[in-house]
Amino acid sequence: MENRFIKTIKQIWKDDLWVVLLDIVAVNLAYLIALVLRGALDDFAYQGASNIARFFSFHFRFAPVYTCFCLVIFYLFRLYGGLWRYADVSDINRIIGASLASCLVQVIGSVIFIREPPYYRMPITYYCIGAALQFIFVSAIRFSYRIVVIERRRSEKKPGKALVVGTEELGEQTIRVLQGGVYFNVCCAVDPSGAAAGKLIDGVPVYRMDELAEQIGKHDITCVFLTEPSLSEASRQAVKRICQEKKIELRDYSSFFGYVGEADQFTGMGTVVTGPEQKQGKRKIPFSPPDIGGSEIGEVVDALNSGWITTGPRTKLLERRLAAYIETGRTDIDTEVDQERWKDRVVCLNSATAAEELNLRILGIRPGDEVIVPAYSYTASASAAIHCGATVKFVDIQKDGDPITHMPEMDYDALEAAITERTKAIIPVDLGGIVCDYDRIFEIVERRKGLFRAVESDGTPLNDLSARIQKALGRVAVVCDAAHALGASRVVGGERKYVGAIADFTSFSFHAVKNFTTAEGGASAWRPIPGVANAEIYKMYQLLSLHGQNKDALAKTKLGAWEYDIIGPWYKCNMTDIMAAIGLRQLDRYLGLLNRRVEIMQKYDAVCEELGISHLIHHVPGMDSSNHLYLIRVPGIDADKRNEIIEGMAEQGVATNVHYKPMPMMTAYRSMSGGIERYPNSFDYYHNLITLPLHTLLSDEDVAYVCEKLRAVVNEAIEC
């Protein structure tokens, strides 16, 4: 502590000496003027010259002691240490506090020093006038100093780049006042607790403590401001060591001498711990908030600062990295070393629905064709085919889902029976991240290939490509809806493959509630097709997603490359670089996010086994899920009782959901499907289904809370 105190004094001597000297003048001048003004009043004159001289003697005798006390008080109230060169009006309360404290010292001190009767204290008006003048002088010094510093800094060519360690009250204030000055630009902040990581403070992204060194290098930081009073000595030394290694300045404002008041604590999105609910032990557990960290925010800021915010280099990089992940299961492959290997294999778009529709359009799906879809899925699985003019044929799921994973998987016997000469595509759904039985699906389409009739080319670019793809396949296409399944894998044909490399075409969702998010967004991937180049398929996706324009904005930036053609009157569904920026950093930590989901599911598994509740099995021999949804089915209850459990969980602060209400129950699909009565397995699966919250912002305490409330609410519902 002594070393830190000495260091702070040296910092004040270096940066704020003139402020200290002006304060010495101000506090003495304020009370001297007060004494003169008080002496000029009529009710003071009767005491005579000798008594007036005695008051002046008392004043000058106590002045040196009072000055020293004032400097200590000003230090305690953080009026020194550098921050005031960036001060604003909101900090005036610190001067008020310092003035009141010093006034109290003046009153007590003068009583102690004035021991000659009958004058045991100075006149009351002396204290009042002196305190008021001192407040005015001290405020004027600081705001004048701020103006001088700002004007001086305006002449400098470039402000420094600052990183703030700490997000409590002092950290927030530091960010705010630095942003209002011209000496530093605050690039980012670090929260030692990690609770505020991924948030913004006055537009400044917050990172975790373990990202400190990385962010210093990434943002070219020139000064670190340490503002966390509760920071452990080990962490404090770690910050100091990093700054020394990076050869950058460290300013420490975290000393308890400079900390007055109690800071508000940030809380994670997974838990609300304020107000009366905290006292009752009640938490607020949202269903599926996005896990956005400081690295994602920083990358978005960099994208915005780059001047390139539509489809550009970040989108292309994300496509290559996703291609590498789909092939290898690794997120650390440097795809820039061999761009030719990874390009033209994945295309990023603005949604999974757009990806699924473009998959079908490239396949040549058109009016008169049939597309087979499981009755148990979300609307996008069917609406994309309808957008293409095709007829959707719904197929019921297996009774109680797959016998091993319990996933509501298609009845494959019903699937085979549904294939006709008009069938052009099947859309299996890897619901919850669990991978369908593609060996079985491919066996079916191969057996039924005799019914398949490929479309003939009409000479237009899209139709010509579609005709060649259909002829190369020679069977019904398997078009996977993998909205939930990025990172899932299965042994297919004796080989472990990741989703995206299994079906003929695959669509992914990067919506905000998905494991991997770009806020909105999605992607298409495809297997190599004999006789059709990946580059040709990729080019068609680009045309379909950008109005049929044969050059995207990035291609047109090349010198002399402004001219373009419109190949077809198509669509606008490209991904932007802002969205891709989120995805790039999400992919960096995606494997860790998947592992955290496994940890949560293991705790859910235990309580479900205890209660006798059926649940999805995400990992079995030959198949690993992406761990997206945790579906449970409570035995022996109807839909009304299920809804009662959902409401009971909500009353305890736990948000749950249902995935999904079968499409034949929906108004849009009721007539074309023939009604839910034709899909009894789907309705039976749905009526007692509940989806528990499963996301990586859940703490272990949150998960334990969900388990506790599930146990209580289910037992109560069953007993009733």
**Looking at 103, 132, 154, which one is the last position of a domain?**
154
pLDDT score recorded for residue 8: 57
pLDDT score recorded for residue 441: 98
Q: What is the dihedral of CA 340, 342, 343, 348, to 10 degrees?
A: -170
- Does residue 458 sit in the same domain as residue 319? yes
Helix, strand or coil, per DSSP, at residue 402: coil
Amino acid identity for residue 402 in this structure: D
The angle formed by the CA atoms of residues 648, 650 and 651, to the nearest 5 degrees, is 65
Q: What one-character DSSP code corresponds to residue 677?
A: G
d(C-alpha 333, C-alpha 351), whole Å:
25
d(C-alpha 497, C-alpha 489), whole Å:
5
pLDDT score recorded for residue 130: 85
**Looking at 588, 614, 648, which one is the last position of a domain?**
588
- Does residue 419 sit in the same domain as residue 392? yes
Answer for the pair 378, 483: CB distance below 8 angstroms, yes or no: yes
The H or E element that residue 633 is part of is strand 630-633
d(C-alpha 408, C-alpha 405), whole Å:
9
**Looking at 206, 235, 260, which one is the last position of a domain?**
260
Say if 21 falls within a structural domain: yes
- Does residue 310 sit in the same domain as residue 443? yes
Say if 472 falls within a structural domain: yes
- Where would I find the H helices in 195-270? 212-218, 233-246
- Does residue 551 sit in the same domain as residue 412? yes
Q: What one-character DSSP code corresponds to residue 81?
A: S
pLDDT score recorded for residue 141: 80
**Residues in contact with 467: Cβ distance below 8 Å, sequence separation at least 6, in sequence order:** 364, 454, 455, 456, 457
- Which pTM value belongs to this model? 0.66
d(C-alpha 167, C-alpha 252), whole Å:
14
> Tokens for 224?
């670190």
Beta strand pairing call for 391-395 and 423-426: unpaired
> Tokens for 477?
């296409």
pLDDT score recorded for residue 83: 45
Walk across the sheet containing 630-633 and list its strands: 614-615, 630-633, 689-692
Q: How many domains does the chain have?
A: 4
Strands (E), 241-317: 249-252
Beta strand pairing call for 370-374 and 423-426: parallel
d(C-alpha 432, C-alpha 488), whole Å:
10
d(C-alpha 489, C-alpha 591), whole Å:
13
pLDDT score recorded for residue 539: 96
162: left (phi over 0), alpha (psi -120 to 50) or beta: beta
* CATH code of the domain containing 658: 3.90.1150.10
Say if 289 falls within a structural domain: no
* CATH code of the domain containing 530: 3.40.640.10
> Tokens for 382?
């069917």
Phi, psi of 45 (to 5 degrees): -70, -30
d(C-alpha 679, C-alpha 662), whole Å:
9
Helix, strand or coil, per DSSP, at residue 368: coil
Phi, psi of 491 (to 5 degrees): -80, 115
Query: Domain residues for 167?
Result: 160-260
Say if 294 falls within a structural domain: no
- Does residue 615 sit in the same domain as residue 702? yes
- Does residue 578 sit in the same domain as residue 601? no
- Does residue 510 sit in the same domain as residue 542? yes
pLDDT score recorded for residue 349: 98
Q: Which residues of the chain have pLDDT under 50?
A: 1-2, 42-49, 82-90, 153, 157, 255-280
pLDDT score recorded for residue 270: 36
> Tokens for 673?
């499907």
pLDDT score recorded for residue 111: 73
